[in-house]
Structure formats: C-alpha cells, structure tokens
C-alpha cells in the first residue's frame, strides 16, 4: 500500500458507509478465511456505531461470521471493481479467494478477520446476535469496534474524493457487475 | 413533471436502491402527511422485494408510519438536494413540509402516503411489524408493493444516468448537508 490507513474516530465511522458504497465482507474462523461482496450494508447507529449487512444463508462467509461472531467491512475503490465482482461470484468453500484473486491483506486491530489492502476504508465489526433477523432475513447487526480509512480520500471525518485520483472513488453496484463510481460534490445550497 | 413515472417490475425494485442513494420518506395517516430525509435505507430482499429504513423514534414520520403501517421511499435527484436537506432538518409536527418547501405530490397506487414529484424513483412500502427492531434499532422492515421510476434515468431494469442530465443523478449524503452525486459507469472488466 502506498499510504498507511489512519484511524477514524468511532463517532465518525458511520460516514464511511453513509453514501451507500458496495463493500467486501471479510471473515475468519479456525484458520480459514474468506471474502465476499455485499451491496446491502449500511449504518444503523452513530455512537456506539452499528452497521447492518445482509449475508445470504448459503454463503461460506455466513458460516465463518456465525462461528466467529466477527467480520470486517472493507470499502473497495474503483481500482478493485473487477476483484469485487470476482469474489462476489464464486464461493470460498473450496478455494482461498484472496490467493485466487491476488488480494493482499493486513491484520485487523480488534478482530481476526483480515483487512483487504487497496481498499479505502475498513470497519471491524462484532456481531450482536439476533436469531430472528439472521434466520428470517439473513440480516446481521454488528457494532463497529475499530475503523480506519485511507487518508488520501477520507480525512478530518470527511470523504475527499474530489481531491484524489478517480481510481480511489467508491463503487456502487446496481446489478450484474454494473457499477457506478461516486461522483461530484453536490452543494445543497445552490 | 415533464414525464410520467413508469412501473418498475417488483423483481427489479431492489435496483432502485442498490447503489445506496439518500431517500425521502413520505407518510400519511388520518389526514396528516409528512416527508423526511433518510440516508439509512437499503434493499433487504429480491422477490417479494423488501427494504430496510431507519426512522428515529422522535420523528413525526415515525408516528405516521407506525399508525398507518405504510410509507414510500422517494429517490430525489440532484435538483432536489436542497429540499432534501430542508425536510431533513425540521419536524413536520407543526407544519406541512410539502407546502413549506414547495414539494408537489401525486397519489401512490397502493398506499395513502403521497409521492414526491421531481423524484426519479418511488417505492411504495407496507411495514412488516417487528416490535424489537423498531424499538431497539428504530429499524423498519417493509415489503415493496409498487415501484415506479422516471424513464429518463431508469429503463429496462437499469439506471441510465450516463444518458441523462446531471440534474437527474441520485444524491448520496455523507454528513451535514454534504452530498455526492452518483458518478460514472464502472466497467468491472477493465
């Protein structure tokens, strides 16, 4: 990585997801790890920060998250769009997707799931178990216990995409590998 | 409105929210109506389509949604950014925000909540009550019973922002009235 991630104060962690980017969900348990893509993730609370993510029942990630009670949400930039599609279309049950798709990782601060290098934000999360939401809706509530971001695009509690390379913009999945990157600043007073 | 909204097949309704836009939540009960902004809304299921939205306990919208069991998610484009901030910062308890901020409405097909003219997509939703999620997390699960979109930007089941005016792009709130509009198409195969 060209720059080191910087800590994001937990009270500002919701801002990493507030604009609706697609994320990579990383997980680990008992020596096995995995990564999948998720468009259905969002903030749920400010402080302590909580998030929601939908993790389908048949996925290998679901098994690792339920076994470990932890996951990380990694926010991929445009340069990882292809990898995001790739890890979103195959199962990690029979392969290590990090190796297969050449995704390097680094250690999280508070959980065992790895964090994906080249992403621009990382939220380390501990599941708040809820059997009904998990079984009925594949829906996981979790508390964010650590947050980091790439200071080239997130600093002083704000995204700063307009000052960085286009390759560092978040990607927003519509369907079938069709993404938009985040665009221009909108001045709501004009 | 320059064009009439067109129906979106329910199986494609999730695509209206999949890329994470900020929405306007409209509601009505017993002759009273309201509109608020929400960045915390996302799809929860494909078919029948379900959505999640966080509606804080102290809001007037919360009262109307719990009383009626219905709401609509209206997707505002860039041209409504200012109105989105305005309706997100005052309560509708003591005023009609539609009148105050000159938001015209039209009738929904399946619910009593009004739909906001000038938005580019509309999801009519019926709450699936869950006392724990609502009280603990301010979180509402709802089924989408009707969906429409502005055919200038959503057609054949896809957003087509790249072929329309910049003013018709979705807006994505970060914090404090700071939005980004949705940007360029990302080709994940490059």
Sign of CA dihedral B81, B83, B85, B87: negative
- For testing the chain A interface, which of B12, B14, B20 should be mutated: the one with the most A CBs within 10 Å? B20
pLDDT in tens, A75-124: 999 999 999 999 988 888 989 999 999 999 999 999 999 999 999 999 99
H or E element in which residue A131 lies = helix A131-137
Per-residue three-class SS string for A39-94: CCEEEEECCCCEEEEECCCCCHHHHHHHHHCEEEEEECEHHHHHHHHHHCCCCCCC
ipTM: 0.96
pLDDT above 90 for A60: yes
Average pLDDT over residues B99-110: 96
pLDDT value at A190 more than 70: no
The mean per-residue pLDDT over the stretch A20-39 comes to: 97
Residue-wise pLDDT for B136-145, tens only, equals 999 999 999 9
Torsion, Cα B108 B110 B111 B115, to 10 degrees, reads -20
DSSP string spanning B14-76? GGGTTT---EEEEEEETTEEEEEEES-EEEEETTTTEEEEE--TTSHHHHHHHHHSEEEEEE-
Residue pairs spanning A and B at CB distance below 8 A: 146
For B171, the closest chain A residue by CA position comes to: A186
Give the model confidence (pLDDT) of A131-168 as tens digits. Answer: 999 999 999 999 999 999 999 999 999 999 999 999 99
Query: What's the longest Cα–Cα distance across chain B?
Result: 54
Q: Give, in degrees to the nearest 5, the angle at Cα A125 between A56 and A157.
A: 120
The residue of A162, A175, A188 whose CB has the most chain B CBs within 10 angstroms, and thus the best one to mutate to test that interface, is A188
Is B78 close to A186, i.e. CB distance below 8 A?
Answer: yes
The reported pLDDT for the residue numbered A26 is 98
**C-alpha B52: how far from its chain's center?**
11
- How far apart are the C-alpha atoms of A88 and A44, rounded to whole Å? 24
What 3-state class would DSSP assign to A108?
Answer: coil
Q: Which residues contact B86 (CB under 8 A, 6 or more apart)?
A: B97, B100, B101
| Residues B20, A15: C-beta atoms closer than 8 Å | no
Mean pLDDT of A22-48: 97
Provide the whole-model pTM: 0.97
Cβ-defined contact of A42 to B52 (cutoff 8 Å): yes
Closest CA in chain A for residue B160: A180
Report the C-alpha gap between A137 and B20 in whole angstroms. Answer: 19
Q: How far is A12 from chain B (nearest CA, A)?
A: 9
Q: Is the pLDDT of residue A2 over 90?
A: no
| For range B1-13, the mean pLDDT | 87
A44 CB neighbours in chain B (<8 A) are: 40, 54, 137, 139
Residues in chain A closer than 8 A to B84 (CB atoms): 188
């Amino acid at each position: 990585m060209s720059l080191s991630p910087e800590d994001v104060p937990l009270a500002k962690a919701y801002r990493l997801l507030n604009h609706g980017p697609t994320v990579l969900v990383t997980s680990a348990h008992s020596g096995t790890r995995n990564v999948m893509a998720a468009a259905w993730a969002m903030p749920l609370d400010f402080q302590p920060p909580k998030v929601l993510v939908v993790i389908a029942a048949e996925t290998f990630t679901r098994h690792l998250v339920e076994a470990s009670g932890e996951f990380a949400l990694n926010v991929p930039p445009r340069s990882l769009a292809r990898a995001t599609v790739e890890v979103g279309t195959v199962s990690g049950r029979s392969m290590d997707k990090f190796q297969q798709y050449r995704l390097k990782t680094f250690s999280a601060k508070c959980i065992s799931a790895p964090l994906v290098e080249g992403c621009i934000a990382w939220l380390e999360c501990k599941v708040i178990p809820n059997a009904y939401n998990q079984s009925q809706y594949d829906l996981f509530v979790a508390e964010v216990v650590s947050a980091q971001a790439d200071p080239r695009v997130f600093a002083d509690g704000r995204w700063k995409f307009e000052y960085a390379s286009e390759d560092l913009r978040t990607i927003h999945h519509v369907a079938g590998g069709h993404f938009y990157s985040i665009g221009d600043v909108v001045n709501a007073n004009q």
